[in-house]
Amino acid sequence: MSAGRLRVALAGNPNVGKTTIFNLLTGMRQKVANFPGVTVERKSGMLTGSRDVEVVDLPGSYSLHAKSLDEKIAYDVLTGRLERAPDVVVCVVDASNLERNLFMVTQIMDLQLPVIVALNMMDAAEEAGITVNAAVLADELRVPVLPMVARRKEGVEELRDAVLESSVGAPRPSWELMDAVAKKVPQLEEALGREADTVPANHRYVEVLRALTDDAALEAWRAAAPEFSADVEAVRIDLEARNVHYQHAEVMGRYQWITPLAARACERNPPELSFTDRVDAVLTHRVAGPITFGLLLGLIFQAVFAWAVPAMDAIEAVMAGLGAVATQVLPGSMVTDLLVDGVIAGIGNVAVFLPQILLLFFFLGLMEDTGYMARTAFLMDRVMKRVGLSGGSVLPLLASYACAIPGIMAARTLDSERDRIITIMVAPLMSCSARLPVYTLFIGAFIPQERLLGLFGYQGLAMFTLYLMGTAMAVVASWILKRFVFKGKASYFVMELPPYRRPQLRQILLRMLQRAKVFATRAGKIIFGLSIVLWFMATYPRVEADQEWMLERQELILQRDAARARVDEGSVEELVELIVAGDSARVYAVAQSDPERHRAAELSYAVSELDRQDHSRRIRSSLIGLMGRALEPVMQPLGFDWKMSAGIVAAFAAREVIVSTLGIIYSVGEVDERSVALREQLKADRYPDGRPVFTTLAAISLLVFFVFALQCMSTLAIAKRELNSWFWPCVMWAYMTGLAYVFSLAVYQGGLLLGFQ
């Protein structure tokens, strides 16, 4: 064993309770970081009660012959390609499903690392009528086997002790390759040893089997070890000529050894109809199944949109309060402006999405933890296959309704690289929560509050339509990718349907928080930095107001203060609000009954109006104004003026920024998407010739633009990371921006032709 920190890796199939065991071993002392040198996530923690034992949680895998990205990570860690190979591997095994679980255990044992088998889910096995004799199993495998029920924390202490004691490499299991293939292995091992000295001698066996049976693995050696690759190919041709199924040799050999072994270690008396069977009779029923799934989705969206509102309001109120306090306490200076308008508003922009994201993650976690998520994949696979995806894409796409970042990361579990690329490419078309503030602002301002046939509100319908448009476009885009880009590439769907289990609230909450943290830090960093940049761009270069304007303003302020001195302050403020809101009837009534108060209010309004004009002038000549005006000719056919164009420029880094950008441009102080002031300003804005800037048509055009455009730096960054190339992210940005422009153009020009304003 090497000096220094002891490293323990947790490996095993998906759904065997690996993460539960990880949490029990490490307590809350966990961290998610990257593997050194590569941007692959690494979940690790320190073993509780120790200072130098690190536990690494590997992604769930069925085999070391990696297919999904998750499996590739597990393989790379176990073979020491990403960092020093682990000192001990804990193979977590589902006792109710011994044979399939032991498959990967034999592969790991072939690497001759110290192995401990954690025989988890002894209770589930018992329910399924299976009694596993751990002692027999340990005898047969010749490694420690510890029975566990991780959900009830049984066996954790024993596992901890075993981890600290273990140091001997596992014996290679005595499974046998079919003769014809086995004869060829030694010569290939030698060839590999000559060319690739990076592969330790005791890993060569596994590596040779991989190259022999897996085309992708052989391909990977072609550059590094050309002679070895040629040898493997020659052996393949020779075996093929003799009609030997070498591709199946390893799997068959392992299972031929495992099957009788498992029979000796297990006693089986399965019940006629298990709990899972009875539940599945309903949940995967051809009629009841899809209906239940539909209802569940409805419930989730209802929850995300309705239940999150109070929490979002609270966060907004807190951030607004914080801004107000900062403005009062700090001296009026540029730094204060930056802090309030840039930093605090920027943090608020991120924080306000958290309730929705947390709720969505909670429901997704619940679906995963109970085992229902696999059923949704089963239910939807046929439909998804038609458009070029697979049932496994359901989870990533659902997650993308909260945020494309976790959605794209969830695509790692997909076996087929084609499915994974397509899923990642269309995930950003699902309307994420960052689009919501934009939708809310413009729908609230320009779509009437009336109801269609007295039933459905137009505003709600508009919102629904936007979500539908994005989803429908995702379907079309993936169909096109399948039909024209990945033509003829094979894809398959082989998915385990795990037994239903009672969800563990603690685990779900923990995962929900981890996911939200990833979102918040990543998105937060960008939006935070961006808000500061935006503030600078909207402030500089500064233009000074001319002399005449200054004098006019001073004169007006004098008159206003004189008028206000004659009446009650509070009642003036009320009246100003009425004027801003455009309530002319009530304003007129006050003007008749109380002309003094009316005059004070009119003057107050005039001063603020003058300030706003000044602000507008400053914005116009600021950097952001310059950019907006430069872009105006291109955006004019979509119905956007320079201010909207500036907002769109700003929003290319993160969509929700457009709300605060418009707020800065229209200078209405503290702004959020439900802010009445900003809505009214948008409606009241006029071109120099008197036409309104924002017609309903222009607003709809803007909404359509936001449905399709990829305005999110974090999404591009994560797509680059997950696909390890800039090609796909660039294609993603180009096609989505193209869609946005074309559809907005069609909506606006088509609307004009039809006579809408």
Partner 1 sequence: MTLRDLRPGEHGVITGFTGDTLPTRLLEMGMLPGESVEVLRLAPFGDPMDLRVRGYRLSVRKEDASQVRIDRRP
Binding stretches for partner 1 (CB under 8 A): 62-63, 65, 67, 96-97, 99-100, 103, 128, 130, 213-214, 247-248, 251-252, 255, 268, 270, 276-277, 280, 284-287, 289-290, 377-379, 381-383, 385, 391, 415, 490, 492-499
Answer whether 123's CB lies under 8 Å from 152's CB. yes
Using the minimum distance from each CB to partner 1, give the nearer residue, 14 or 346.
Answer: 14
In degrees, to the nearest 5, what angle opens at C-alpha 223 toward C-alphas 218 and 227?
75
Using the minimum distance from each CB to partner 1, give the nearer residue, 92 or 710.
Answer: 92
| CA–CA separation, 706 and 443 (whole Å) | 13
Q: Which two tokens stand for residue 650?
A: 């700003």
Which letter does DSSP use for residue 638 in this model?
G
Using the minimum distance from each CB to partner 1, give the nearer residue, 493 or 549.
Answer: 493
From the CB of 121, what's the least distance to partner 1, in Å? 12
Using the minimum distance from each CB to partner 1, give the nearer residue, 384 or 707.
Answer: 384
Using the minimum distance from each CB to partner 1, give the nearer residue, 97 or 393.
Answer: 97
Q: Which two tokens stand for residue 254?
A: 């392992």
From the CB of 185, what's the least distance to partner 1, in Å? 18
Q: Give 411: exposed, middle or buried? Use CB within 10 Å, 0-12, 13-18, 19+.
A: buried
From the CB of 483, what's the least distance to partner 1, in Å? 17
| CA–CA separation, 694 and 441 (whole Å) | 13
| CA–CA separation, 440 and 438 (whole Å) | 5
From the CB of 633, what's the least distance to partner 1, in Å? 49
From the CB of 162, what's the least distance to partner 1, in Å? 27
SS3 628: helix
Helices (H), 120-270: 122-127, 134-141, 156-165, 179-182, 185-195, 204-213, 215-224, 226-241, 246-265
Which helix (H) or strand (E) covers residue 693, if one does?
none
| CA 494 to chain centroid | 24
Rg (CA), the chain: 32
Answer whether 103's CB lies under 8 Å from 253's CB. no
Answer whether 649's CB lies under 8 Å from 737's CB. no
Answer whether 264's CB lies under 8 Å from 137's CB. no
Residue 620: count of CB within 10 angstroms of its CB: 17
From the CB of 216, what's the least distance to partner 1, in Å? 11
From the CB of 463, what's the least distance to partner 1, in Å? 29
Using the minimum distance from each CB to partner 1, give the nearer residue, 181 or 707.
Answer: 181
From the CB of 327, what's the least distance to partner 1, in Å? 58
| CA 66 to chain centroid | 23
Using the minimum distance from each CB to partner 1, give the nearer residue, 282 or 676.
Answer: 282
From the CB of 377, what's the least distance to partner 1, in Å? 8
| CA–CA separation, 112 and 116 (whole Å) | 12
Using the minimum distance from each CB to partner 1, give the nearer residue, 385 or 674.
Answer: 385
From the CB of 285, what's the least distance to partner 1, in Å? 8
- What's the residue count for the chain? 757
From the CB of 464, what's the least distance to partner 1, in Å? 24
Q: What is the largest CA-CA distance in the chain?
A: 108
Using the minimum distance from each CB to partner 1, give the nearer residue, 266 or 576.
Answer: 266
Between the CA of residue 462 and those of 459, 676, 703, what are the distances in Å?
5, 19, 10
Using the minimum distance from each CB to partner 1, give the nearer residue, 18 or 515.
Answer: 18
Half-sphere exposure of 162 (CA within 13 A, CB side): 21
Using the minimum distance from each CB to partner 1, give the nearer residue, 377 or 436.
Answer: 377
Q: Which two tokens stand for residue 226?
A: 């050309």
